[in-house]
Structure 1
Amino acid sequence: MNIEAQRTQTPLYLQVAHRLERQIISGERAVGSLLPPEAELAQQLGVSRHTVRQAIAQLRKKGMLVARKGVGTRVEAARTDWRERFRNNSRDDLFEFANESEFFIRVKERREMRGKLATEIGCRPGRRLIYMAGPRHFIGEPLPFCWNEVFLDPIAWEVVEDLQVQRTSLFQQIEQRTGERIEEIQQEIRAVEIPDEICEGLNRPRGTIGLRITRRYLASGGRLMEYAVQTSPADSFAYRTNLSAE
């Protein structure tokens, strides 16, 4: 299918980047091989040369392509190393956390952001986001250790539409399926008295004290792709960081 004909909110150059990425991962475009010249690739994909140039730049950022003057653009790697995108351990921790636990989605709907909620999330009032909520369990454990709430850009609907249990990193799936790239993750941790409705969902008494961890996942230009809230009773979760002297 000509990419121009696809009906999506994802920018065209990201659609092209995502398609090329799938071809590289599948081996259709092998590691070590050269991409066709820009004009030829644009004709193959049914897009402009400018769009192809933007898509290639996106994959060069991921380390999947490398451009050599006088040689061309070569396929460098079949997979991006997610862990090398950030210079501290926080992103690794998020992957481990997602892979060792299960998010059971009890609520999934579109919500309009207003008032304090819009301010907290950092989006304009009136913006409609995908909202999901439910308990998270460590795999094999019957009791939840936290309550998760997630607010997503509507572009992620194809990722979560049929999702009932989340067992992998959600923001990684969004990157892979939409072509969007998470450039920054902002995290904040606060001690809180857990709201009554969340206590009920976690089978905890009212007034339980816990940790509230919020994370903003920002794409290029500071655009919010995901806002996640994790609320954990104090006795069920610990956050550990290793600091090294330089």
Structure 2
Amino acid sequence: MTGSRRTKPRYAELGDALQRAIEKGEYPVGTLLPTELELCERYQVSRHTARAALTQLINAGLVDRRPGAGTRVIAQNVAMRYEHEIDTVDLLLQYGNTTRLQVISAQRLPASAEIARQLEITEGKDYLRLYTLRLEEPSRQPLAVTEMWIPVRSTVPVDKLLDVATAARAVARFLEPTRLSRVEQVFDATSFSTEDARQLGIKKSEPAMRVQRRYRDTQGKLLLIATSLHPPGRFAYSMVLSRNHR
């Protein structure tokens, strides 16, 4: 991971190196990967970098991580999935620029074990929960309900994010493209809660398309998780795939 100009964040380089090792059978299915501390010592990286690299493997479906049990290899190869790298972040953010975010509520809460795992923080550490609507302009038709989780750190504008009058603008500034190295996206299907359906003006029985986005800074640290639920007929996602020549 040294000796050449770096084109990826350090955590992504480490994640790729571990993935190659798994694919080559250096860590067979059922065995444990090195701990975060062992990775820090072996590759001379920070704890945040090691954790983000392991999360990359979790999201790829290669490993499973449980408190007290370590990080266990569960597959030798990555399942088929779509992922957007930094060269499409600007296009992704155009969606935010052509719609309007309306913040309905904002709370500061201690993270449960599950939320802490997803946010890559310690259980009990504070995070911000924003419940929002994404509106189409100029019709103001609701396109999605979005729940945002933001770990509380010194760089987070907590007061502005907790004020529903300033929160939308604060989110936009917090996710400036220059701060981002990576946006990880996962699409699946789910159902709406009663409150979600009410906000969108639909029946609860309608199916929901769920889009989860994980925004990372240039050091690989997780800035925000946004989970959006879209009703039928109000949102479509299009992408073009091309062969990667090396």
User: Is 1:181 aligned to 2:179, yes or no?
Assistant: yes
Q: Secondary structure at the match of 1:106?
A: strand
| 1:120 shift after superposition | 3.6
Distance in 1 (CA, whole Å) between partners of 2:221 and 2:124 is: 16
Q: Secondary structure at the match of 1:227?
A: strand
TM-score, normalised relative to structure 2: 0.55
Structure 1 unaligned regions, length at least 5: 1-85
5 Å matches for 1:74-113? 90-113=88-111
| 1:156 shift after superposition | 2.8
Deviations 1:149-170 (A, max 9, x none): 1112332325535453777793
5 Å matches for 1:142-157? 142-154=140-152, 155-157=156-158
Equivalences, count: 158
Distance in 2 (CA, whole Å) between partners of 1:139 and 1:234 is: 18
5 Å matches for 1:76-225? 90-154=88-152, 155-157=156-158, 159-162=160-163, 164=165, 170=171, 173-174=173-174, 181-225=179-223
Instruction: Supply the RMSD in Å over aligned alpha carbons.
Output: 2.9
Structure 2 unaligned regions, length at least 5: 1-83
| 1:146 shift after superposition | 0.3
Q: Secondary structure at the match of 1:183?
A: strand
- Going from structure 1 to structure 2, the CA distance change for 1:108 and 1:161 (only over 3 Å counts) comes to closer
Structure of higher CA gyration radius: 1
Distance in 2 (CA, whole Å) between partners of 1:196 and 1:92 is: 34
Deviations 1:158-206 (A, max 9, x none): 55354537777935x1266xxx932222111111122222112211111
